[in-house]
Every structure is written in C-alpha cells, then in structure tokens.
C-alpha cells in the first residue's frame, strides 16, 4: 500500500485513538471511521497501522478491550479507554498543543 500525505503523522495515531475512545467504547472499524469523518476526510487511518497501534496501546494499559455486539448485532471487539489512558491522553494533548503552538509561532515569525 502506497503511503499518501494524508497518512496520520507517526506518533499522533495514539493521540487520535485515545481521543476517539474518550467519547466511549468503540471497535476498530468505528475508530477508523470516526477519525476520518471528524477530520473531514483529511486524516485517513490506514488499517495496516491501526490494529498494531491498538494492540500496542492496549499493552501499555491505556485502553482495554472486550468482545461485545456491534450495532448490527455482530460480534466485535470493543476498545475502552482506561484511567491511565485518560492521563496519557491529557499529557499527549498538552504536548501536541505545545508543539503546534511552537510550529505556529515559527510559521508566523519566520
């Protein structure tokens, strides 16, 4: 699969996943769709990086998963953010804001 510029920046995928899950439990497909929709189709989450990321984050203890039933009554794995995940999300958001603020000021004054 060819990479496109719309690929989510490395390292921010965690942030996007955690943010999405802070709304409530969601399955992998739902996460991908949500990110795509909310970003007005700018950010497209590649399936190839989504699932490994989910597993990695789960092992960090930031999210946990559980098998449940999807809206059309199919068995699906739902992810849910944990307390540690919420803390991590807060930290990542702060970092992201600092970074974007920094980039913004450079763009303004350079």
Partner 1 sequence: MRWLNRLWSTLRPRRLDRDLDDELKFHIERRAADLIAQGMRPAEARREAARRFGNVTLEKERARDRSILVWLETLLQDLRYAARTLRRNPGFALTAILSLALGIGANAALFSVTDALLLKRLPVNDSSSLIRVRVYYPEFGDSTVTYSFFDLIRKNAHTITGATAMALGGPTIEEHDGPTPAHVEIVSGEYFDLLGITASRGRVFHNANEPIAVISDSFWRSHYAAGEAIGKSVKFGKTVFTIAGVADEHFRGAQVDWPADIWIPLEQAVPSGARRGPNWFWLEVMARLQPGATLPQTRAELDSLLHQHLEQLAGTRQFDHPQQRAAFFSKRVTVQPAATGISNLREHYIKPLLIVVGIAVIVLVIACVNLANLLLARATAREREIATRKAIGAGRIRLIRQLLTESALLTILGAIAAIFLARWLSAALLAFFPDASNALANLSFRVDPRMLAFMIAICLVTSLLAGLAPAIRVSGPPRSQASSGGRALIAVEIALCTILLIGSGWFVRTLRNLRTLDAGFVRDQVLLAFVGAPPGAKGPQATARFDELRDRVATIPGVRSASYSNYSIMTGGEGQTSDNISAEGHPPTATENLTAIELRISPGFFATLGTPLLAGRDFTDRDGASAPKVAIVNEAFAKHFFGTVNAVGKRFGEDGPKSTLDYEIVGVVKDTKYANLREQSRPIYYRPMHQVPSDGGMVIAIRTSSDPGPIASAVRDAVHQTDPRVTKITRISMLIDASLASERMVAQLSAAFGGLALLVACIGIYGILAYRVARRTREIGVRIALGASRAGVEWMIVRESLALLGIGIAAGIPVALGLSRYITSLLYGLTPADPWTLAGALLLLALVSSFAALLPARRASRIDPMSALRCD
Catalog residues that contact partner 1 under the rule CB under 8 A.
1, 27-29, 32-33, 47-48, 51-52, 55-56, 59-61, 70, 72, 74-77
Residue 5 has what DSSP assignment?
T
Q: Which is nearer to partner 1, 39 or 70 (CB)?
A: 70
Helix (H) or strand (E) holding 27: strand 26-27
- How far is residue 54's CA from residue 97's CA, in Å, rounded to a whole number? 23
* Cβ at position 105, least distance to partner 1 in Å: 22
Q: Which is nearer to partner 1, 5 or 72 (CB)?
A: 72
Instruction: For residue 53, give every residue at least 6 positions away whose Cβ sits within 8 Å of its Cβ, in sequence order, or none.
Output: 13, 14, 17
Q: Which is nearer to partner 1, 74 or 108 (CB)?
A: 74
């Amino acid at each position: 699969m060819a990479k496109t510029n719309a690929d989510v920046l490395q390292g921010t995928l965690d942030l996007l996943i955690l943010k999405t899950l802070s709304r409530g439990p969601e399955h992998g497909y739902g996460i991908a769709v949500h990110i795509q929709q909310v970003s007005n189709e700018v950010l497209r989450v590649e399936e190839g990086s989504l699932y490994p990321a989910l597993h990695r984050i789960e092992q960090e203890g930031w999210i946990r998963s559980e098998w449940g039933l999807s809206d059309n009554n199919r068995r699906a794995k739902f992810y849910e953010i944990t307390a540690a995940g919420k803390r991590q999300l807060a930290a990542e958001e702060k970092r992201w804001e600092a970074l974007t603020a920094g980039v913004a000021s450079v763009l303004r004054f350079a």
